[in-house]
Structure 1
Amino acid sequence: MTLSTYPEKSISYLYEVGVHGGIRRAADALGINPSVVSRQLSLLERNLQLPLLERRGRNVVLTEAGKLLAEDFAKTNQRRKQLERQLQDLRHMRGGSITVRIGQGMVDDVVNHVLKAFSAAYPGVFVNMLSGDMQSTVMLIAKGEVDMAVGFGPTGPPGLKCLSINRGPICAIVQREHPIARLSQVSVTELAQHRLIAMNESFGLQRYINAIFKSESVIFTPSYSCNLFSSAIALSKAGLGIAFMTAQAVQTPLLQGELIAIPIDHRIARESQCHLLRSADHRLTPAAQYFWQLLCNFFNEAADS
């Protein structure tokens, strides 16, 4: 049996195990039963007559043979993705395409201050805008499926070209009649006395909030959890709880007087950052490079203002 005859799906499972460091975690990411992954990899090892996995402590890592297969799969997959995008460009008669992933709280800024200028300079380029958590964003950039991203979180991820920019302070977002609305800043102890609105655990913002409460030895006990900033804003407008965001993320409700942003009195809240991300070794097209430069310029200027 030649290498080309081995099931590509099995090799893709091997690649995911290498990325996630375990069969169960890889299966969870793929949305399948761990036994399916385990069975396919065992069959692949038997056919190749080579071990592909070895256990180190609580993690599973790839052997040298496993790494060779996984690396080849990743390169092949990246080439195919690039080909698919080129074919998509031809189908739409476009001048190229850019895929950018943007954290929900920064979509308005990117659209109004970056995308407008970019579209004027490159009207024929197709822009695919996505949203999602930092962990999956990093994986998609590494796979070549996303050109660049704007994320929010306590630390910039390793292995990527990353420009980290101050985005703070993180604020408590409340309606004007809320008991804390009169405060110039609010402590963690005070926040814990009220109904709180959490974001999904995958949000960089929520990781900040968790770190803030943990540092003060205060248990964060929300009354609501959301996976959309718009949901958290609606709850706050209704007076049902305190949301947490930067003031930039809720500019329109603040200007309209519907909500008030009170900075959280904590070092972590004052030092919040957004991260502009791209692959360190993936060469951008001229259009994508221009988009990247617009992103860098805008967020640098916003941080200085």
Structure 2
Amino acid sequence: MKFSARALLHFDTIRRCGSIRQAARQLHLSSSALNRQLLAIEDQVGSPLFERLHSGLRLTPAGEVMARHAIHVMQDTHRMTAELQALRGLHAGHVDLFTVEALSHAVVPAVLKQMADRHPKVTFRVGVGGSRFAASRVIEGDADVAWGFIHERQVGLRQLAVVSCEIGVAVQPDHPLARLKSVRFSQCMRFPMVLPAPELTLREALVPMLAAQTEPPPVILETGSFELMRQIALQGRALVFVNRFGIEDELLTRRLVHVPLKDAAPSLLGIYVRARRSLPAAVEAFCEMAVEHMQGLAGRRPE
């Protein structure tokens, strides 16, 4: 059973959009023409590829198989294009990265600068969101690399590197907890606090400690925004639960102090690509730099 590159592109665009109408807009086709194309593919497969729901389209089991094939073929095509460009001496390429907000402040920009210095013709698209979403983007073929706090091993991902990061509280230097070498969650209960939203992996580390308290914690804010947590800490309004990534400048200038949380398991920051994928040259070069940079940061001991 063979499918044209155009048919695979059309199918995959429908999959990503979850709607024939939205996919048609992206492909600059009419909805009726794209629907006919999908029906022709389904006829060739001999089974529906999508469930037609009021909320949109959802892949059937046959659609899941087709999606894996489409992702594999298209990513191999991108890799071949990059390798042919490299043979012509262009050293070009493109990297789709999905990462978490905390890394977008200093870590990711530093690696992008290294890439620009060594491979100036490589282009990037960087998405920012939760770690779970980053993982799903890579598994589904919508991103080349996920860089985030992905604690559960997933079948569709290959881990290139991982470092352990202490979770702690970020407070101003004059905060009563700032002079301690480490702190327990029960000690934090005496102060206003900001909690990461449930969809963040950081919240998972706090769940056992929250459940162990006999009184409700003095939470003034719950948010999925790292930047908002950082600003609240800088204002001195509350303590926030974070690791050291994303507040590097504030720690160096002593505007914030990071006190490790004794009863929290460490966060695992990792770099991931899709399992069993041969990486294009540009993606491989980026991953090598990202791994080196991340491991270098993890090896630095705070003063």
CA RMSD of aligned residues (A): 3.9
Q: Superposition pairs for residues 54-203 of structure 1, below 5 Å?
A: 66-76=60-70, 95-107=92-104, 108-112=106-110, 114-163=111-160, 165-203=162-200
Q: Name structure 2 gaps, 5 residues minimum.
A: 23-38, 51-57
Q: Name structure 1 gaps, 5 residues minimum.
A: 17-25, 31-43, 54-60
Distance 1:218 1:78, change over 3 A: farther
Q: How far does residue 180 in structure 1 lie from its aligned partner after superposition?
A: 1.9
Q: Quote the Cα distance in structure 2 between the aligned partners of 1:266 and 1:166.
A: 19
Q: Superposition pairs for residues 1-305 of structure 1, below 5 Å?
A: 66-76=60-70, 95-107=92-104, 108-112=106-110, 114-163=111-160, 165-214=162-211, 222-268=219-265, 271-305=266-300
Contact 1:167 1:273 in 2 (8 A): yes
Q: How far does residue 300 in structure 1 lie from its aligned partner after superposition?
A: 2.5
Q: Quote the Cα distance in structure 2 between the aligned partners of 1:192 and 1:99.
A: 41
Q: Quote the Cα distance in structure 2 between the aligned partners of 1:248 and 1:210.
A: 21
Q: Quote the Cα distance in structure 2 between the aligned partners of 1:52 and 1:131.
A: 30
The aligned amino acid for 1:303 is A
Distance 1:246 1:286, change over 3 A: same
Structure in which a larger fraction of residues adopt helix: 1
Contact 1:15 1:74 in 2 (8 A): no
Q: How far does residue 51 in structure 1 lie from its aligned partner after superposition?
A: 9.2
Distance 1:76 1:195, change over 3 A: same
Q: How far does residue 77 in structure 1 lie from its aligned partner after superposition?
A: 6.0
Q: Quote the Cα distance in structure 1 between the aligned partners of 2:77 and 2:160.
A: 29
Contact 1:188 1:218 in 2 (8 A): no
Q: Percent identity?
A: 18
* Stretch of structure 1 that moved more, 154-163 or 74-83: 74-83
SS of residue paired to 2:143: coil
**Aligned residue pair count:** 258
* Stretch of structure 1 that moved more, 214-223 or 96-105: 214-223
Q: How far does residue 286 in structure 1 lie from its aligned partner after superposition?
A: 0.9
Q: How far does residue 52 in structure 1 lie from its aligned partner after superposition?
A: 8.7
Q: How far does residue 131 in structure 1 lie from its aligned partner after superposition?
A: 0.8
The aligned amino acid for 2:132 is Q
Q: How far does residue 224 in structure 1 lie from its aligned partner after superposition?
A: 0.5
Q: Quote the Cα distance in structure 2 between the aligned partners of 1:153 and 1:223.
A: 27
SS of residue paired to 1:179: coil
Contact 1:78 1:143 in 2 (8 A): no
Q: Quote the Cα distance in structure 1 between the aligned partners of 2:115 and 2:47.
A: 50
Partner of 2:34: none
